Structure 1
Amino acid sequence: MKRNNMIKNLVALAAAAVAFAAQADINVGVTVSATGAAASLGIPEKNTITLMPTTIAGQKINYIVLDDSSDTTAAVSNTRKLITEHKVDVVVGSTVTPNSLAMIDAVSEASTPMISMAASARIVEPMDAKKKWVFKTPQNDIMMALAIVQHMVDNGAKTAAYIGFADAYGEGWYQEFAKIAAIKGLKIVANERYNRNDTSVTGQVLKLVAAKPDAVLIGGSGTPAALPQKALKERGYKGQYYQTHGVANNDFLRVGGKDVEGTFLPSGPVLVAAQLPASHPVKKSALAYIAKYEAAFGKGSVSTFGGHAWDAGLLLQAAVPVALKSGAQPGTPAFRAALRDALESVKELPGAHGVFNMSPTDHLGLDQRARVMVKIENGAWKYQP
């Protein structure tokens, strides 16, 4: 009888150990725009996920990666699937602002932390009960808009025109651009929109040219941001061109060709890491990411968008050990809450794009160390000291 009881106890302990081991896996759900209009942004993000550690603080990490095809509805569907079917502890994504904004309800309802790889400040601001679950890694529009307007003014521009996406990204950029322009005394003489999938912007460009601005800012991202600039060049516009940090990858250079020569844009330091002074606080961490990415995908293949995914991974590497110390087990509401709290407490974490200092009121945590000005020169990115 004692022997039978002992055997039963051993079997029960073994079963409990197996259950605990299964519970111990941390599931990271990822939705990226690997196809569709934002594919040039989403592909390097997807590639970067493959470089992330499969173990953090002794715990196995599983990455479940889905493609939302640059579609808002698909991004929300992916998010709900990751939460309900894959029981993820955190969601990383999506690539673009409209998708990320649409995902907020799903993650907040499930009390699951989310790290967005899209730029708009509206993803994390203003802080409220829903957005307390949401973090992001790309620099806020206002930080980059300030750099652009200051550069325009410093180079003699008195007037400027704007053309951007007809969505949350384009509108968010215009609002920040207009706000800073008013402060700096820069007059906006035209304001136009176009869709990411448009093949012509002739009507909008004719209005921009007629307004005769000293400079034009194109509020787009990825390869679709090249369309207005090509059209402006065809119409003979000779003023200064500016793009947002949403174009900082080599696909934009390839599609834009000679038409984007001389363009200025703000960017995360990773884009020109090798050109940065040795004293720059992000140079070392940015070069580390570049070395790892290029070893896997080839020389010159790195992009700033992959860097946003890398920084999401670094945030998790910093937060997971802290969440585990709470005693909460992965796969439970308690662990998701502990992970959210841990993300919020990350301090002085150098990444590919900047140094992260999160807080209860700041779920981006980047400062001006996350920004440099860049010029497109001879088909390459040139750091502007």
Structure 2
Amino acid sequence: MLTRKSLLSLAIGTSLLASSYSSFAEIKIGVVTSSTGPIALVGIPQKNSIDLLPKSVAGEKITYLPLDDGSDPTATVKAFKKLISEEHVDAIIGPSGSGNAMGVIQFAAESKTPMLAPVGTAAVVLPMNEQKKWVFKTTQNDDLIASALVDQMKASGIKTLGMIGTADTYGENWSKVMKGLTEKAGIKIVADEHFQRQDTSITGQALKVLMANPDATLIAAPGSSSVMPETTLKEQGYTGQMYQTHGAALDSFLKLGGKEVNGTILAASLMLVLDQVPDSPEKQVAQKYVDAYKAKYQVTPPTFGSNVYDAGLLLQNAIPTALKTAKPGTEAFRVALRTALENTKNLPGTQGVYNMSPADHSGFDERGRELIQVKNDHWVLLK
């Protein structure tokens, strides 16, 4: 018969074992953002959104390990290696920049760590291969956004197009996508210029576009870098229709561009015009995120922050399935988590509805975009 002392010892031992198991079972998610440096306008709302992510799933605690890469691709690599080799995370959300993301895909793949990339370029998931199958993208692919713009251009009678994009993965992929779509639409690209994000002047590129005199010009640049090409063209007297990608979908674009960006057309998520779109499951999710962000930070979040929030929703949806296969902290769990993410179906997010597949690790359809125009310094749904 067990004595009181024996029972006490057994209880303590059981408690310690449970505590040990709980510690082992804790889910660890690394988050790499660019909350400082040139991409900070994108990275800051992404970093802020970490506090709004699920704290537990299926009874398991989730710990988030945030790191700032300062917008530096080399620092991104160091951050990823630290999270993978030292922290042994189960997944990584980030980084903020397209070029930064391209530089760490190999490390996610080698360690079999799912990577949820809140970046603009589709190049992180396309063309799909053995490395990119570990990456899931929480923004719309370029072709989904571009096709909406090209359809609008064609309907408006535009025949010639100029382009100014960043000299990196983001701008280069947009050039590639637009070339294919405009050819089919009978629109000729008469100028395709590029610039570095840190450039303080792009007068030369703007003059080349101006000399080509296109009916319209598309700026393919993310964050604050989307403003200068457009304002420079306007200052030089360009009067054609201006278009932007979803990289310009932040209120800072309106503030920095001022009256010079009025009339601009872009395709982006419903978050920019949340009060102007009909009710839907994705609108409800977006409103919940916006309300939570405003309650904590007293400002309306840019769409970039919601890309991290959606990464949390994707993980929240996939983790219970992965837990049926293996325990957190193991390769088996990471593999199961990747498979569960790839099988995400009909999951409403702030940007649209996710339907992943082995060939599509972004998963958006037309519900993930709206045509929007800048009117009187505000975003207005283009009807």
- Normalised-by-shorter TM-score class: over 0.9
- 1:158 corresponds in structure 2 to 159
- How far apart are 1:50 and its partner, in Å? 0.9
Residues 274, 287 of structure 1: 8 Å contact kept: no
Q: Which blocks of at least 5 consecutive residues in structure 2 are unaligned?
A: none
Determine the structure 2 residue equivalent to 1:68: 69
| Structure 1 Cα separation of the partners of residues 258 and 372 of structure 2 | 16
Q: How does 1:63-212 map to 2 (within 5 A)?
A: 63-212=64-213
- Partners of 1:67 and 1:13 lie apart in 2 by 40
Aligned partner of 2:372 in structure 1 is 374
- How far 1:334 sits from its partner (Å)? 1.1
Amino acid in structure 2 at the alignment position of 1:19: S
Q: Deviations over 1:57-106 (max 9, x none)?
A: 11111111111111111111111111111111000001121111111011
Aligned residue in 1 for 2:56: 55
Q: CA deviation at 1:21?
A: 1.2
| Counterpart pick for 2:331 among 323, 330, 333 | 333
1:268 aligns to 2:269 (yes or no): yes
Equivalent position to 1:352, from 350, 353, 373:
350
Q: Contact 1:120 / 1:172 at 8 angstroms: preserved in 2?
A: yes
Q: Give yes or no for the alignment of 1:384 onto 2:382.
A: yes
The DSSP-based 3-state class of the residue aligned with 1:30 is strand
Letter in 1 for 2:287: L
The superposition leaves residues 210-260 of structure 1 with CA deviations (integer Å, 9 ceiling, x where unpaired) of 000000000101111111111101100000001110011111111111111
- Aligned-partner residue type, residue 108 of structure 1: A
TM-score under structure 2 length normalisation: 0.96
* Worse overlay, 108-117 or 70-79: 70-79
Asked if 1 retains the 8 angstrom alpha-carbon contact of 2:120 and 2:222, the reply is no
Relative to structure 1, the CA distance from residue 9 to residue 295 in structure 2 (aligned partners, 3 Å threshold; closer, same or farther) is closer
Per-residue deviation, 1:282? 2.4
Q: Partners in 2 of 1:126 and 1:156 — Cα distance?
A: 32
Q: Which residue type is aligned with residue 302 of structure 2?
A: S
Deviation at 1:17, TM superposition (A): 2.4
SS at match of 1:282: helix
1 CA distance for matches of 2:165 and 2:91? Answer: 32
Q: Deviations over 1:304-326 (max 9, x none)?
A: 10111111111011011111122
Q: Deviations 1:335-373 (Å, cap 9, x if unpaired)?
A: 111111111111100010010011122111111110101
Contact preservation (8 Å) 2:36, 2:70: yes
Partner of 1:282: 282
Distance 1:275 1:108 in 2: 41
With normalisation by structure 1, the TM-score equals: 0.95
- Residues in 2 aligned to 1:57 and 1:150: alpha-carbon distance in whole angstroms: 44
Amino acid at match of 1:324: L
**Amino acid aligned to 1:315:** L
Cα distance, 1:3 vs. partner? 9.8
CA–CA distance in structure 1, aligned partners of residues 208 and 364 of structure 2: 37
Aligned to 2:318: 319
One-letter identity of the residue aligned with 2:353: V
1:213 — aligned with what? 214
Q: Which residue of 2 aligns with 1:20?
A: 21
Q: In the aligned structure 1, how far is the partner of 2:202 from the partner of 2:129?
A: 38
What amino acid maps onto 1:286 in structure 2? A
Residue 258 (str. 1) matches residue 259 (str. 2): yes
Count of residues in Structure 1 that have an aligned counterpart in Structure 2: 382
Write the distance in 2 (CA, Å) between the matches of 1:162 and 1:262. Answer: 17
Distance in structure 1 (CA, Å) of the matches to 2:6 and 2:303: 60
Please tell me the residue identity of whatever aligns with 2:314. L
Structure 1 runs not aligned, ≥5 long: none
Partners of 2:266 and 2:360 lie apart in 1 by: 25
Shift of 1:137: 0.7
